[in-house]
Structure 1
Amino acid sequence: MKRKNKAIILPVQQRSVKSKESILAAAETVFAQKGLHGARIDEISQLANVNKQRIYAYFGSKKKLYRQILLKVYSLAATNEKILSLTEKDVPDMTLLIIESFFDFHQQNPQFWRLLAWENLNGGKSLNTDDWQKIRSSYIAHIQNLYEIGQQKRFFKKSLDFSTYILTIFSVTYFYYSNQLTISHLLNLDLETKLVRQKLSEQLTEILT
């Protein structure tokens, strides 16, 4: 009897998981294009091919769904294997490795910096203190630990604190892709070429080490 019940429940569970995945994928696309206030549940529902009542049943409201999307994309950044796999032996070369890793992440995940831009326009109020603590406790703490080891071994300047170091990397790599089209025109420089990015990575490494 128990086996029979299990056979009936599993397909329902699988459909539920698939529906949630479809909703999250559609919501990420729509929120990245239009932000929290411009996005409509009807549009997400249509793109996900899911009844909008099901969206409310799973996530409660548009704001709660938006928060889930932010957590999803931030978690994607926070679980970057290239960063988390760095060890003490990588410290001498880690700045260039981190810069290139962040560049790769932004290039491969344009939804991330689009959502980040919208969330800043929204006042950065969608995530709570616990959310940010979970994000910080993963890759930021890992990089900081390696940076402090590097300072002790004189691979990094004593005068350059970690917050300035990581903020500089965040800023340059984010700005490079989020403003690529306009800055290319402004500087008359094709930021889509590998050579330009490589040169920037190397020179930024020199500045920070």
Structure 2
Amino acid sequence: MPSVKKQPARAAKPVPIKRRDRERTRQEILDIAFEEFAENGLSGGNTDAIAARANITKRLIFYYFNSKEELFTAVLEMAYAKMRAAEEDLHLEALVPEAAIRRLAEFTFDFHQAHPEFVRLVSIENIHRGRHIGSSQRLKEMTQPSISQIAKLLERGVAGGVIRPGIDPIELHMTLNALSFFSVANRHTFEAQFAWDMSSPRAKAQRRAEIADALWRYVRRD
């Protein structure tokens, strides 16, 4: 019986390795970490859970961010950057002072209502006494356009005789954020104590209008 010549085994084709897009992977980690920290805080936030949801190793998280603390800081930077970018799109300079003040108030209220996770994240950072924001030069720098926008609006209103002089733009920014922040951060405790509706569309619309009215009455020149 003639021998059958064996064919040499073919080398297996190498399986192509998918290279992760660096920026896409980093952004995916940030998005998942944002949800994790907003829900569980810095101490309770779990990098194993973040890695599992992103379908990566925990080691890769630390490759991008070095530590859990740095990841939390990067999440804060991302969250604030979204708000600051939206503020720049308001184009308050195109509106008369009263309309601009009301638009700023309505935007701030709407942003907090639409992003309760942002409110929780800011509250968590306050528990940590703002140390992550304090260590981030980027976060400090991104506040300047927002305050500058308010300052220019106030100056324009004073020059036009419709806004009273002497209003500090940082104080006004703080007042507005305090009014808007409360409706989200303290909603559950306030509703429980006073049996007061803060959640329905009607209640939100009323609160939104009251904040805009209050802010304008505060700055206008009698």
After TM superposition, the score normalised by the length of structure 2 is: 0.80
Deviation string for 1:93-133 (max 9, x for gaps)? 11211111001111111121111000000010113362243
Relative to structure 1, the CA distance from residue 95 to residue 188 in structure 2 (aligned partners, 3 Å threshold; closer, same or farther) is farther
Alignment partner, residue 56 of structure 2: 50
Amino acid at match of 1:111: E
Q: Deviations over 1:6-38 (max 9, x none)?
A: xx99x6253x33322221111001111122222
The aligned counterpart of 1:3 is none
Could you say what secondary structure the match of 2:132 adopts?
coil
Q: CA deviation at 1:177?
A: 1.2
Aligned counterparts, 1:27-66, within 5 A? 27-66=33-72
Secondary structure of the residue aligned to 1:194 is helix
1:156: which partner in 2? 163
CA contact (8 A) 1:114 1:178 kept: yes
Secondary structure of 1:155's counterpart equals: coil
Residue number in structure 2 paired with 1:139: 146
1:191 alignment partner in structure 2:
198
Indicate the structure with greater helix content: 1
State the distance in 1 between where 2:23 and 2:212 align: 44
Amino acid aligned to 2:91: S
Q: Per the alignment, do residues 82 and 18 of structure 1 end up closer, same or farther by CA in structure 2, a change over 3 Å counting?
A: closer
Counting only pairs closer than 5 Å after superposition, residues 1-209 of structure 1 correspond to structure 2 as 12-14=19-21, 16-81=22-87, 84-127=90-133, 128=135, 130-192=137-199, 193-204=203-214, 205-209=216-220
Gaps of 5+ in 2: 1-15
Q: 2:27 & 2:168 partners in 1: Cα distance?
A: 41
1: CA distance between counterparts of 2:174 and 2:116? 19
Residue pair 2:87, 2:146 contacting (<8 A) in 1 also:
no
Larger radius of gyration between Structure 1 and Structure 2: 2
The superposition leaves residues 160-182 of structure 1 with CA deviations (integer Å, 9 ceiling, x where unpaired) of 33232221101101111111122
> Across the two proteins, how many residue pairs are aligned to each other?
200
Per-residue displacement from partner, 1:41-99 (whole Å, max 9, x unpaired)?
Answer: 11211222221111111111111111110000010111115654221533231121111
Residue 207 of structure 2 aligns with an amino acid whose one-letter code is R
CA contact (8 A) 2:112 2:181 kept: yes
Paired-residue identity, %: 25
Unaligned runs of 5+ in 1: 1-7
The Cα of 1:159 is off from its aligned counterpart by 4.5
Give the residue type in structure 2 aligned to 1:95: I
**How does the TM-score come out when normalised to structure 1?**
0.85
Range that drifts further, 115-124 or 178-187 = 178-187
Amino acid at match of 1:41: T
